[in-house]
Amino acid sequence: MAKGHKDKVAVITGAANGLGQAFAKRLAEDGVDIACVDIADAAPTVKLVEAAGRKAIAVKCDVSSEDSVTAMAAKVQDTFGRADIVINTAGIFPQTNLDTLSFAEWKRILGVNLDGTFLVSMAFIPGMKQRGWGRIVSMSSSTLGSVVTGFVPYVSSKAGIVGFTRAMASELGPFGITVNAIQPGLTRTPGATGRPPRAGFATMDDEFNAVAQLQAIKRIEEPDDLTGAVSFLTSDDAAFITGQTLNVDGGRVRS
C-alpha cells in the first residue's frame, strides 16, 4: 500500500476502460475508494474496485459540460463526503486533417480534453483546500515531443494540460495540494485500438510496433505501465513534487 493512500477518495475520469480503469484498480489496491466517472458505463470498473476491497460508484458524466460535472461532484459528495484525489484521464483523440479541420471540431476536442480537466479539478479543489491535502494528476501526451501529423487539436489540448498543471501548482501549493501531469506514449487501450491507423500504417498493430521501436524499451505500452506513476504521484511520498510533467513512454521522449 502506498504511503498516505489508506481510506482516501479518488475521482477518476475516463474510468470505464483503458487507463482510467487501470488507475482505479491500482488505487483501490492501494486502499483508496473510487468514484468511476465516464460518459460510458463504468460498472465493470466498480466491480474491479470492489474486488480489491474498496468502495466504488459509477457516475455518468460529460466532463465538457459544466452542469454534468456539477451533478457528478454532488453525487461524489453525497456518497463519500469528499474527494482527496482527482485523476483527469478522460480524453478523445480523433485524427483531423488540418485542411478540413472545423472550429466546431477544434472546440469539441479541447472541450473534452482541456475544459474537462479544468471543470473536474475545480469541482473538488475547494474541499481539498479546506482539508489541506489534495492530489491532481492529469494526462498529457508524449505527442508534444513527437513528430506526428493529423492531431493539431489533440496536441494543443495536451499542451494546455501541461500549462494548466504548472500554473495550478503555483496557486495550490500553499494549501497542501500537488498538481502534476503524466505524458503516456501510444498505449494499447480500447480508444487507441479502435481508431484508424495513422497514414503509412496498414493496421493499428503496425503503428503500435513502429512506435515501440522508437522507444528505449522496445515493447508496446500497456495501461499497467502507467499505474505505478499515478500511485506515486498521489501518495505522501510525492508531497514535495508539483508542477511537473512525467514522461512514461518507454523512453521515447526525453525531458
- The per-residue DSSP string of 119-177 comes to HHHHHHHHHHHHHT-EEEEEE--GGGGS---S-HHHHHHHHHHHHHHHHHHHHHGGGTE
Nine cell digits for residue 253: 521522449
Superfamily of segment(s) 9-188+222-248: NAD(P)-binding Rossmann-like Domain (3.40.50.720)
State the pLDDT at residue 203. 92
154 is catalytic: yes
Q: Where are the domains of the chain?
A: 9-188+222-248
- Distance between CA 144 and CA 162 in Å, rounded? 10
- Distance between CA 195 and CA 208 in Å, rounded? 12
Query: Which residue among 23, 93, 151, 154 is the active-site one?
Result: 154
Nine cell digits for residue 63: 466532463
Nine cell digits for residue 87: 485523476
What letter would DSSP give residue 219? S
pLDDT in tens, the chain (255 residues): 679 999 999 999 999 999 999 999 999 999 999 999 999 999 999 999 999 999 999 999 999 999 999 999 999 999 999 999 999 999 999 888 999 999 999 999 999 999 999 999 999 999 999 999 999 999 999 999 888 888 999 999 999 999 999 999 999 999 999 999 999 999 999 888 888 888 889 999 999 999 999 999 999 999 999 999 999 999 999 999 999 999 999 999 987
Output the furthest CA–CA distance in the chain (Å, rounded): 52
CB within 8 Å of 144: residues ≥ 6 apart: 155, 158, 159, 162, 183, 253
CB within 8 Å of 155: residues ≥ 6 apart: 141, 143, 144, 148
Query: Quick check: pTM over 0.85?
Result: yes
- Distance between CA 186 and CA 211 in Å, rounded? 7
E strands along the chain, which residues?
Answer: 9-13, 33-38, 56-60, 85-88, 134-139, 177-184, 245-248
Using alpha carbons, select from 138, 90, 127 the residue that is nearest to residue 242.
Answer: 138
What letter would DSSP give residue 247? E
